[in-house]
Amino acid sequence: MLAPAFVLLLAQVAFAADATFNMYQGPITQAQHASDPASDLTFTLTGGQPFWNPYMADRLGTTGPILLQSTNLIEQLAHFVRERVPERQVHAKGAGAHGYFEVTTENGAKLSMADVFSEVGKRTPVTARLSTIAGNLGNADSVRDLRGLAFKLRTQQGILDWVFLNHPVFWLRDPVKFPHFIHSQKRHPATHVTNYNDFWDYLSANNESIHQVMRTFSDLGTPYGFRHMNGHAGNTFRAVAADGSWNYIKISALSDQGIRNNTQAEATIVAGENADFGITDLTEAIDAGDFPSWTVYFQAMNATQAEKFKYNIFDLTKEWLPEDVPLIEIGRITLNQNVANYHQEVEQISYDPGQMPPGLEPTEDPTLQARLFAYADAARSRIGVNYKQLPINCPLNPIATFTRDGAMSFYNQGSRPVFASTQDALKLTPRPYNDDNHTVWVGGAVKYVSTPSEIDFDQARGFWERLSATDQEHFVSNVIGHLGRASNADIRQKQARIFAHVNATLGKQIADGVKVSL
């Protein structure tokens, strides 16, 4: 005779013989009970079958061998070795939280027809992931590195993904260099530890990186957790207004908590005391009701202004300084809800800068063009071709597409046509504006890599001059401590000469510190 609990469970999943089958009843049921306390539920196998004890296995007698029929044992062991999805190649370690984006001004609606900016006070659900970049999942949150700030906005016109860094510039402007740069920071194939020669070899051979080098080896390279840092898209986008007019824009999210950094000594202590400080600091702040927020700004310029701008507006190694291109407030992102399940809501989330509603568009920015492919491709490889069907990545408005089938397709759009059929045609959104005049190509296809030039040192010099005496002292110490660990004297000398080209005194201090001559 079945125990009462099992009878109740079977009654819950049973349905009448004449009921119409609903393929999504199972997922609905799982979602309805996902947050139930364990004490309200009864242990089952993965197929929903009641089972007597999670530790129980079928065997020959109480001392005999295990049998292959032991479904409970096999399910647990087989799943155990498959529990981890591959970690991200970059941004492997991170924290996550939920919240909302709120429109605070009419500026967004003036610049873009995207519905997300349509009216002051409008709120859009957001999930954020804040991360280190170069290290792996075992990385300490306080290491010297860039940080990522990614925000998934679930708008009424689909997903809008903002992928930001805590610096407005990057190490490169030629996207094919990206794997090389990241490989220079990864573990050496022979020793399986970080190789300082490799890191500085790349940087000293690619001088366009110098502005980012300067920023990263200042105290900005060791932020205090994830709440006290700004976010910058870096890449250049287009904003298209309702009348079809458009501007080039850069997007930033500035921390309302203010900027706070660790010194190198403080970062080292934090790494030893709490390697997960960034995660715990964010979680504990939200639990305490101290909700972190970032004010979102656009910087905008029209095509004529862009042509006359002193830097190439598509060069990711250059920033648009606010004194040159003013910040225009758009809205605010607030994080007010911690995640309930890290794997589901943080590890499985994906971001793709190509996900933009009408009114926001990409530009010819070469690194952005590469990212438009790379982000989605990384997600397909890491978590599956139907990764956008996972709850954390799924848009809130109905999907109607001809991208069907593939592994783990949970919502395969029923019996609708799998092509652009005239028998049962999908409605089409009218083209909201004519973008024929957005880009005029003036040359043919060429194989090209940029050449570092004097202008690449311009913003690095400005950054050095704006540092306080204390910050300059920290910078020199940080560089000497890191560059000095490169055993190759030629690499140390080459990089010291690059610093000397930024500032003669700076170069002399670093050369002396790493024991090379200029």
- Residue ranges of the binding site for heme: 375
Asked if 479 and 219 touch (Cβ cutoff 8 Å), the reply is no
Q: Between helices 458-466 and 489-502, what is the axis angle to 10°? A: 80
Which alpha helices (H) appear in 106-192, and where do they start and end? 107-111, 178-185
User: Which candidate, 405, 396, 394, places its Cα nearest to that of 348?
Assistant: 394
- Binding site, by residue number, is 375
Environment class of 508 (CB within 10 Å of its CB; exposed 0-12, middle 13-18, buried 19+):
middle
Decide: 234 and 349 in contact? Cβ < 8 Å: no
The closest alpha carbon to 170, from 326, 368, 309, 355, belongs to 368
Strands (DSSP E) found in 271-378: 293-301, 328-338, 360-361
Residues facing residue 301 across a β-bridge = 248
Q: Is 74 exposed, middle or buried (0-12, 13-18, 19+ CB in 10 A)?
A: middle
Q: How far is CA 494 from CA 200, 351, 367, 437, in A?
A: 9, 37, 27, 45
Q: How far apart are CA 509 and CA 443, in angstroms?
A: 45
For residue 307, the Cα-to-chain-centroid distance in whole angstroms is 31
d(CA 135, CA 187): 10
Q: What angle do CA 29, 30, 33 make, to 5 degrees?
A: 85
Task: State which H helix or E strand residue 405 sits in.
Answer: none
Residue 314 DSSP SS3: coil
